Amino acid sequence: MSQSTDSGTTRSMSIGRIAFASLIGTTIEWYDFFLYGTAAALIFSHAFFPNVDPTAGTLASFATFAVGFIARPIGGFLGGHFGDKIGRKAMLVATLLITGTTTFLVGLLPTYQQIGIAAPILLVILRFIQGIGVGGEWGGAVLVAVEHAPEHKRGFYGSLPQLGVAAGLSLGTVMFAIVGALPDDDFHAWGWRIPFLLSALLVVVGLIIRSRVEETPVFKEMKAKKTVQRLPIVEAVRQYPGRIVQASMISFGAILIFFIVTVFTLSYATKQLGVARNTILIAIVVVAAAEFIALPAWSALSDKIGRRPVFLIGAIFTALFAFPYFWLVDTGNTVAVFVAFLAIWLVGHAATYGVSAAFLMEMFPGEVRYSAASVSYQLSSIVAGGFTPMIATTLLEWSDNESWSVALYLLTGGLITVIGGLLAKETREGSHRASRSDSDTTHTTTA
């Protein structure tokens, strides 16, 4: 049915507000989450694991980072379950509150010197709870944008919550760059806490904005037709096991790139290569800012030519650029580091991560969409995200500080992503309804 100009304008404005609310929320969520990653690379080995050698301290610090990713599938399961049962909107508010509260509390934690072994234990507990919040966040934010979007712009609107990663990373990195300019003693004593404590102000803003978001048309249709599932994740695993595997493989590469660049490279370049800390932090901010153009551009292209072609461009580039990335970083030259970051970020990451929002959501029908997409994405994030800094650091130690071992790991992740993209079928032409009439052997899944 065609819409009048007035109704079309109203709908367009509504979508704009909804996309903005999703973006603001994911920005705050990822600001909180990535503060921890930056602190794990720069601070936590000193503050919470001071009685071990530097490599062991870094590994222990990255282990606490990984705990958040172990918790993320739990958050994906819980967020997906309740998002598919009681609605998408409620979970957007709940996940933001969980993540923001735990981040603020990390900023108040006493160090090992102050309370001994209780300090790292409390750090791990807070990180685990934070991971649950972020695990439920991604699916809800993306789903709200995709299910409200016009059918021919789902790729573009679905990519906007994904920009929250770049925005949150930029904001968190800028904050650490500012406090990182403090004298080392002040930075390690109290300066690192400031970005964590400021998250409380951002959360208040995010809660106000998200509380005004409308429920999605798809979920309203599900309630009206009484098709809400009692155990949506069970239905998803029973009906669509192949797609869940494909969705996890599709998610792998972009997550891997992110944590190779923003966590491992930050630690590797500053501690092994002697690159100035703020040089890497500034490089991360620059590429994150540039992704505000690249990510929606790739996603808009997917609305025209399909999700798979755009996705495969990014996935294949990731595999091909794995070794050149580290060749450039290993020079220690500022220009070479910036080139490496820009290339892998604006092609490898932007093309795969931006498109994956609509791609994953369109793979599953509305009744199980939140559960299936969230769990698929979060399962992939355990290895590609949480364990990547530990795996990369261990590989570097094993290869006598030669980066080829980590490049091989990045290449492997790129190939997993390519295979996932090749196995999946095109989803762009699905209709904009809630439906579960398709089987696991077809991909005319609705969005």
Residue 66 falls inside a structural domain: yes
Residue 74 falls inside a structural domain: yes
Summarize the confidence of residues 154-182 as an average pLDDT: 84
Domain limits at 403? 10-423
Residue 445 falls inside a structural domain: no
Question: Using alpha carbons only, how large is the chain's radius of gyration in Å?
Answer: 21
List the structure tokens of 333.
Answer: 């030259």
What pTM does this model have? 0.77
Instruction: Provide the pLDDT for residue 59.
Output: 66
d(CA 285, CA 173): 7
SS (H, E, C) the chain: CCCCHHHHHHHHHHHHHHHHHHHHHHHHHHHHHHHHHHHHHHCHHHHCCCCCCHHHHHHHHHHHHHHHHHHHHHHHHHHHHHHHHCCHHHHHHHHHHHHHHHHHHHCCCCCHHHHCCHHHHHHHHHHHHHHHHHHHHHHHHHHHHHHHCCHHHHHHHHHHHHHHHHHHHHHHHHHHHHHHCCCHHHHHHHHCHHHHHHHHHHHHHHHHHHCCCCCCHHHHHHHHHCCCCCCHHHHHHHHCHHHHHHHHHHHHHHHHHHHHHHHHHHHHHHHCCCCCHHHHHHHHHHHHHHHHHHHHHHHHHHHHHCHHHHHHHHHHHHHHHHHHHHHHHHCCCHHHHHHHHHHHHHHHHHHHHHHHHHHHHHCCCHHHHHHHHHHHHHHHHHHHHHCHHHHHHHHHHHCCCCCHHHHHHHHHHHHHHHHHHHHCCCCCCCCCCCCCCCCCCCCCCCC
Residue 431 falls inside a structural domain: no
Summarize the confidence of residues 11-36 as an average pLDDT: 72
Per-residue burial over 223-238, b = 16 or more CB atoms within 10 Å of its CB, e = otherwise = eeeeebbeebbebbee
Number of separate domains in the chain: 1
d(CA 403, CA 156): 36
Q: Is the pLDDT score of 81 beyond 80?
A: no
Higher pLDDT, 88 or 313: 313
| Spatial CB neighbours of 339, under 8 Å, sequence gap ≥ 6 | 328
Instruction: Provide the pLDDT for residue 65.
Output: 67
Residue 4 falls inside a structural domain: no
| Spatial CB neighbours of 419, under 8 Å, sequence gap ≥ 6 | 249
Residue 441 falls inside a structural domain: no
pLDDT 10s digits, 392-413: 989 998 998 889 999 999 999 9
Instruction: Provide the pLDDT for residue 51.
Output: 64
CA angle (294, 265, 308) in 5-degree steps = 35
pLDDT 10s digits, 60-70: 666 766 777 78
For the chain, what is the mean pLDDT? 81
Residue 97 falls inside a structural domain: yes
Q: Is the pLDDT score of 4 beyond 50?
A: no
Q: Is the pLDDT score of 373 beyond 90?
A: no
Residue 270 falls inside a structural domain: yes
Most distant CA pair in the chain: distance in Å?
69
Domain of 43, CATH number, reads 1.20.1250.20
